[in-house]
Amino acid sequence: MKQIELWPDFVALRLTGISLIKIKNILGMSMHAITNREKALQKMVKDLFPDLAEWWLPHHQWQDRRLTSQVEKEKQVFMSFLDTLLYQETLDCPTCGNVMKRLEASKHRPYFVCHRCKTSKNLLSNTELFRLDHVDLWHAYTNYLIKGESNLTIQDMLKISHICALNWRKRFIKQMTSMGLDELVFWINWQWGRRQGSIKGAEISKSRKNDQES
């Protein structure tokens, strides 16, 4: 196999979920060479690391999307964070210590007012989610995000705009990163990469089939 020096880069990129199309462009290799390396990599993992292969290959091929225990734990941390933002009813006033109550007019937003000293506080103010719309969709969005769904799929499922889907992905991942949920962020990027890879792979297979039939 030619270009042996590119093997470490290929393996590293592939294990992080980068699609074959992107790896082809990054390494400047032909699609034929990339496909052969993919087959060799999968065989090597099966032969040398059978336990890893049993878990990794189904996830790598986007057939099994069950979370690891650590990712599940970090997901629950983020969901609890959202629960606090969306459902917390009272808050200690940072100015006078009085109990602040959630403002009814703010609907789903965590906006609190102290009736003693008139201090107001929005729990979203110091987060990456500040000023984002459709708060009632955030839990559902997070689940789709963690599953690795594409922006197009998410916007279709939640009936939001494409710009909204793009913005939310960036902002939610930034918030997770700020909370130290690194395994969760890596998982999201990996699964999203695998999703894109499966779509591109299907498109390539369909194109080849059409070429053979024509």
pLDDT band at 179 (very low <50, low <70, confident <90, very high): very high
Lowest mean pLDDT among 7-11, 35-39, 78-82, 85-89: 85-89
The position carrying tokens 């297979």 is: 205
* pTM for the predicted model, two decimal places: 0.74
Residue 129, C-beta contacts closer than 8 angstroms, at least 6 positions apart: 85, 138, 171, 172, 175
pLDDT of 196: 64
Rounded Cα gap, residues 72 and 74, in angstroms: 5
Residue 20, C-beta contacts closer than 8 angstroms, at least 6 positions apart: 14, 31, 34, 35, 38, 197, 200, 201
